[in-house]
Amino acid sequence: MEIIFKPIGTVHSPFQKKEDIKKFRCVDPKGFVSIQGELEIFGEFAEGLQDLDGFSHIILIFAFHKSTEKKLYAHPPYDNKRRGVFSTRSPNRPNPIGFTVLRFIKRDKNKLQVQGVDMIEGTPILDIKPYTPRDQKPEARFGWLEEWLG
């Protein structure tokens, strides 16, 4: 079965290439929270942004369009162990799909100002969903990351 996605927009980011993100992540892995960017939604999908105002956060689903490797293991930049790709946020995965939660600042027609950007300029947007109470999991555990998080 083949699945084909049509991007609904594009990300405008201060990160121009993958290496920019890697450098930043190694300096401050929690620092993406502060990085601002813009999501430009293509005109034919702009009506779908109606009623998004009022949400503080959104879930962005995107394509790792510059990722060419499909791996089952990853080496996170802040961890020296080889980890299963499904326990990481690595862009090198069997299906190059990314997912992140962004702070939604404001909307101006088909453009969304957001905070927490961790993708590169020109990243194709596949979908946007509101971050809702059902997404909050107070009992969440973080596996191997708990050691690193302290």
SS3 sequence of the chain: CCCCCCCCEEEECCCCCHHHHHHHHHHCCCHHHHCEEEEEECHHHHHHHCCCCCCCEEEEEEECCCCCCCCCEECCCCCCCCEEHHHCCCCCCCCCEEEEEEEEEEEECCEEEEECCCCCCCCEEEEEEECCHHHCCCCCCCCCHHHHHC
What is the rounded CA–CA span in Å between residue 47 and residue 35?
27
Average pLDDT, the chain: 89
In tens, the pLDDT along 70-102 reads: 999 998 877 778 999 998 888 899 999 999 999
Which pTM value belongs to this model? 0.89
pLDDT at residue 26 greater than cutoff 70? no
Give the mean model confidence (pLDDT) for residues 98-109: 95
Domains of the chain and CATH, by start: 9-132 (2.40.30.70)
- Greater confidence (45 vs 90) lies with 45
Q: How confident is the model at residue 67 (pLDDT cuts 50, 70, 90)?
A: confident
